[in-house]
Amino acid sequence: MNLKGILFDMDGVLVDSEEFICEAAICMFREKGIEVKAEDFVPFIGMGENRYLGGVAEKYHVPFDQERDKRRTYEIYEELTKGKLKALPGVHRFIEMCRKKGLKIAIATSADRVKLETNLRALQFPEGTIDATVNGLEVEHKKPDPEIYLVAAQKLGLHPEECLVVEDAVSGIKAGKAAGCKVLAVRTSFPAEQLKEADWICTTLAEVPPEALKW
């Protein structure tokens, strides 16, 4: 079998956090005196908060202090998510199955480390479940650039072509394919017709096509 590692995106793949980061971002802009809408953020899903927030700031032609505004958004996000973040359907069982198959596991998220840590605390994986993580502060180029998945594979000691990327966003699928990985798309954030670049598509990780783990 060529498959040796799984590279998971985080938001929309492992944890249902999109509504919370969107609400936090809306609150942050409201504090700046700007009313934005949830649909404004859709084009920037999966690209990391720099672009997620910055893209909407550009749309409304408002000043964007990347570090300050991002920090404030994460503060609001942490408050909003207390006791509310949950693993998406099938996550724990799928990861347990991957571990039993001897596959290495990495999480590669465009989000900053603070959001990664907040979400991992909520997911409560048993110690030793995750072999490596990569967050947005560790890479220069964000998705759809392949850098984050190249770094994740390297951290696992694997070649990209030995890895399966699990993604929910169009930009993430492009990143995974550009890195040379095979890609499994989860229909959490986008309809299937927008995920066609992926090798396989599933509704949740409870319904992964068997062939996605047999190559």
For the chain, what are the domain ranges?
5-16+85-213, 18-81
C-alpha triplet 104, 105, 110: angle, nearest 5°: 145
Q: What tokens appear for 148 in the block?
A: 């984050």
**Cα–Cα distance, 49 to 18 (Å, whole number):** 12
pLDDT for position 1: 74
Q: Which tens digit of pLDDT belongs to each residue from 95-152?
A: 999 999 999 999 999 999 999 999 999 999 999 999 999 999 999 999 999 999 999 9
Classify the phi-psi angles of 54: left when phi > 0, otherwise alpha if psi is within -120 to 50, otherwise beta. alpha
The residues carrying an active-site annotation are: 9, 11
The sign of the dihedral angle between the CA atoms of 91, 92, 98, 101 is: negative
Low-confidence ranges of the chain (pLDDT < 70): none
pLDDT for position 78: 93
Tokens 């890479």 correspond to what residue? Answer: 139
**Which fold would CATH assign to domain 5-16+85-213?**
Rossmann fold (3.40.50)
Give residues with Cβ within 8 angstroms of 170, minimum separation 6.
46, 144, 190, 194, 195, 197
Cβ atoms of 40 and 52 within 8 Å: the answer is: no
pLDDT for position 13: 97
